């Protein structure tokens, strides 16, 4: 009898599933992170609840409503774990706690609960390659050559002449080896000396790190952004890297980092982290700097068992508004057959407002970029303040610089302070971020480019973002639709369709400072001209009903419409 009931239940479940799938195809596009819009925020700079000049978790909690109204589904918070802050949190001294500067674990719980209420998931930033030199693991490891944690980091004898074990260079300047006089050995650090590299060849390290992700999954995070994954392994025999001509910003010789970067073992760790993530329905986002799209594709895993969302930084390397260049980057991403991840700014690169702005049409260009990366097939990751047209506030004097690489590399390398300034909430002093002097100054443009002012202006960048994000959330073609490039020979206008089940969204972007006209042959795509209905637009219009569809765009204008078969 019991068995019969079970069989009946199974039959009903299968029938139910078939019925549901007839209603809505359960395709790959239905995983939550494919529908979501992600938003990176730098916790020092987002919202300061206790007015000490530095942002905190309670501040983030207080802005959950803003994030929901904007159309954000998940926030990636740059590291907020206990840290001596040498690299502003990317030097972690405890992977399972919150830095008191940002709050407590209880504050985290409150933030996660509020996020749940508002439909905003939390993604944490996992610094996998290295810890802080103040992490108890490293403190123990450096205590003696026989300490049980000695092999948790990479220790080696120097050369006979007393020099470092090899010629590897730290990406933040100088040798990648530091001599520790206590044991007379060198330890390896790809980043600052205060960020010793963990030895991922040691199974105990792997277990400890996997467990740290479990800790946060159980506490409510929905995934991790994995920091600097390409630096996890080095060859065991520590061969010298080939020396190339020239020097870098810090005056070090250029080298080909073939023996300490992008080693194949990285993929084993990605699979390991993914296995744990899958136990919790979580997503992994990769800081995946690559030289080409084939390399990026590898991070998804041969069996799609590595990172679900490796970030496509090749896109950020298109540093000018150019229809052909963006078109070819999109085509490259599409050619992988994988789910793309679009990024235009982050805490390590100059803000898009400055990289693409021409000084005359900057706001129009900010909208144009939103019209692009929020409507492509794939998941976009915004950077806080992009929705306002926040600009970079690059320091002009060395003594003002906070980021150590800016002090070390001045004036060639000015550091990353400029892209990390406080969020601009209003036109009050310090952009309404804090009543105390913020840790970094806001640019003067905060007076016009801030949440309060822009909320009142229907034509603001903020309201444009909101409209595009709202559209993206309700229009199936923008989430599920295939990408079809149009008018591929056009040097000025980037046009494409997102096609889904007989319906389509048309996106036409004028990537030039001159007015343009674009003729779109919808019939050739099996779509109707008569059914064209305007969606979100700026500085553009279309003559409907006639074929081809004639779209007129002012400089950097955006035209979006929907149509169907």
Which residue has the CB atom at the shortest distance from ligand GLC?
A: 90
Contact in structure between 266 and 233 (CB atoms under 8 Å): yes
Q: Which of 127, 205, 284, 522 binds ligand GLC (CB under 6 A)?
A: 127
Q: In angstroms, give the least distance from the CB of 314 to ligand GLC.
A: 16
Which one of 48, 114, 227, 298 is the catalytic residue? 227
In three-state secondary structure terms, 468 is: helix
Opening angle at CA 108, ends 106 and 109, nearest 5: 65
Report the relative pairing of strands 177-180 and 223-226 from DSSP bridges: unpaired
DSSP 422: P
Q: Which of 33, 42, 155, 191 binds ligand GLC (CB under 6 A)?
A: 191
Nearer to ligand GLC, 347 or 499 (CB): 347
Verify binding: residue 234, ligand GLC, rule CB under 6 A: no
Q: In angstroms, give the least distance from the CB of 139 to ligand GLC.
A: 19
Verify binding: residue 348, ligand GLC, rule CB under 6 A: yes
Q: Which of 228, 374, 493, 520 binds ligand GLC (CB under 6 A)?
A: 228
Verify binding: residue 227, ligand GLC, rule CB under 6 A: yes
Q: Which residues contact 213 (CB under 8 A, 6 or more apart)?
A: 126, 224, 273, 276, 277
Verify binding: residue 124, ligand GLC, rule CB under 6 A: no
Verify binding: residue 86, ligand GLC, rule CB under 6 A: no
For the chain, the distance separating the N- and C-terminal CA atoms, rounded to the nearest angstrom, is 53
Residue 359, burial from CB neighbour count under 10 angstroms (0-12, 13-18, 19+): exposed
DSSP 427: S
Nearer to ligand GLC, 67 or 229 (CB): 229
Q: Which of 40, 56, 87, 133 binds ligand GLC (CB under 6 A)?
A: 87
DSSP 421: P
In three-state secondary structure terms, 559 is: strand
Contact in structure between 454 and 479 (CB atoms under 8 Å): no
Which one of 279, 302, 521, 543 is the catalytic residue? 279
Question: Which residues, 278 to 297, sit near ligand GLC by CB under 6 A?
Answer: 287
Letters for 315-344 (x = contact with ligand GLC by CB under 6 A, - = none) are: ------------------------------
Q: How far apart are CA 98 and CA 101, in angstroms?
A: 8
In three-state secondary structure terms, 224 is: strand
Verify binding: residue 90, ligand GLC, rule CB under 6 A: yes
**DSSP secondary structure string for all residues of 2-49:** HHHHHHHHHHHHHHHHHHHHHHS---GGGSHHHH--EEEE-GGGS--T
**Binders of ligand GLC: how many residues, by CB under 6 A?**
9
Nearer to ligand GLC, 108 or 126 (CB): 126
Query: Is 279 considered catalytic here?
Result: yes
Best CA proximity match to 191, nearest among 232, 247, 240: 232
Nearer to ligand GLC, 313 or 353 (CB): 313
Query: Is 230 considered catalytic here?
Result: no
Q: Please report, to the nearest 10 degrees, the dihedral formed by the alpha carbons of residues 471, 472, 473, 474 taken in order.
A: 50
Q: In angstroms, give the least distance from the CB of 342 to ligand GLC.
A: 17
Verify binding: residue 177, ligand GLC, rule CB under 6 A: no
Q: In angstroms, give the least distance from the CB of 130 to ligand GLC.
A: 7
Q: In angstroms, give the least distance from the CB of 125 to ligand GLC.
A: 8
Binding interface with ligand GLC (CB under 6 A): 87, 90, 127, 191, 227-228, 287, 347-348
Active site residues per annotation: 227, 279
């Amino acid at each position: 009898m019991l068995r019969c009931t079970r069989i009946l239940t199974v039959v009903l479940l299968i029938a139910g599933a078939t019925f549901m799938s007839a209603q809505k195809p359960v395709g790959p596009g239905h995983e939550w992170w494919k529908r979501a819009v992600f938003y990176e925020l730098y916790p020092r700079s987002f919202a300061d609840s206790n007015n000490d000049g530095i942002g905190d978790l309670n501040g983030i909690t207080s802005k959950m409503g803003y994030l929901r109204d904007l159309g954000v589904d998940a926030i990636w918070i740059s590291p907020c774990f206990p840290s001596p802050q040498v690299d502003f949190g990317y030097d972690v001294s405890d992977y399972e706690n919150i830095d008191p500067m940002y709050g407590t674990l209880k504050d985290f719980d409150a933030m996660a609960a509020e996020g749940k209420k508002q439909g905003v998931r939390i993604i944490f930033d996992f610094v996998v390659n290295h810890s802080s030199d103040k992490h108890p693991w490293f403190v123990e490891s450096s205590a003696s050559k026989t300490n049980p944690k000695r092999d948790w980091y990479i220790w080696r004898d120097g050369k006979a002449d007393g020099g470092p074990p090899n010629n590897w260079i730290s990406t933040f300047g100088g040798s990648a080896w530091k001599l520790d006089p206590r044991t007379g050995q060198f330890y390896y650090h790809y980043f600052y000396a205060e960020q010793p590299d963990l030895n991922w060849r040691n199974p105990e390290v792997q277990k400890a790190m996997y467990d740290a992700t479990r800790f946060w999954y159980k506490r409510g995070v929905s995934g991790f952004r994995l920091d600097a994954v390409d630096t996890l392994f080095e060859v065991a025999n520590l061969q010298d890297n080939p020396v190339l001509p020239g020097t870098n910003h810090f005056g070090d010789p250029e080298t080909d980092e073939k023996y300490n970067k992008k080693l194949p073992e990285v993929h084993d760790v990605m699979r390991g982290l993914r296995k744990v993530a899958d136990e919790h329905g979580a997503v992994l986002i990769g800081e995946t700097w690559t030289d080409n799209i084939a390399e990026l594709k590898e991070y998804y895993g041969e069996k799609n068992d590595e990172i679900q969302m490796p970030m496509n930084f090749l896109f950020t390397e298109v540093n000018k508004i150019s229809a052909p260049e963006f078109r070819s980057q999109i085509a490259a991403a599409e050619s992988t057959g994988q789910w793309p991840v679009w990024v235009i700014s982050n805490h390590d690169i100059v803000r898009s407002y400055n990289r693409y702005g021409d000084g005359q049409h900057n706001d129009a260009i900010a909208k144009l970029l939103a019209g692009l990366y929020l409507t492509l097939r794939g998941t976009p990751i915004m950077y806080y303040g992009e929705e306002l047209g926040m600009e970079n506030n690059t320091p002009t004097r060395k003594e003002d610089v906070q980021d150590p690489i800016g002090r070390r590399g001045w004036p060639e390398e000015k550091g990353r302070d400029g892209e990390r300034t406080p969020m601009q909430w209003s036109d009050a002093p310090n952009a309404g971020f804090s009543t105390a002097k913020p840790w970094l100054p806001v640019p003067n443009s905060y007076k016009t480019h801030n949440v309060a002012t822009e909320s009142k202006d229907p034509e603001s960048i903020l309201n444009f973002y909101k409209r595009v994000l709202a559209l993206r959330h309700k229009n199936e073609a923008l989430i599920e639709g295939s990408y079809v490039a149009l008018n591929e020979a056009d040097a000025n206008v980037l046009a494409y369709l997102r096609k889904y089940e007989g319906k389509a969204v048309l996106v036409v972007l004028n990537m030039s400072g001159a007015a343009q006209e674009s003729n779109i042959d919808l019939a050739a795509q099996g779509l109707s001209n008569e059914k064209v209905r305007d969606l979100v637009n700026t500085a553009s219009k279309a003559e409907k009903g006639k074929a081809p569809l004639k779209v007129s765009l002012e400089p950097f204008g955006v035209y979006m419409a929907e149509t169907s078969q």
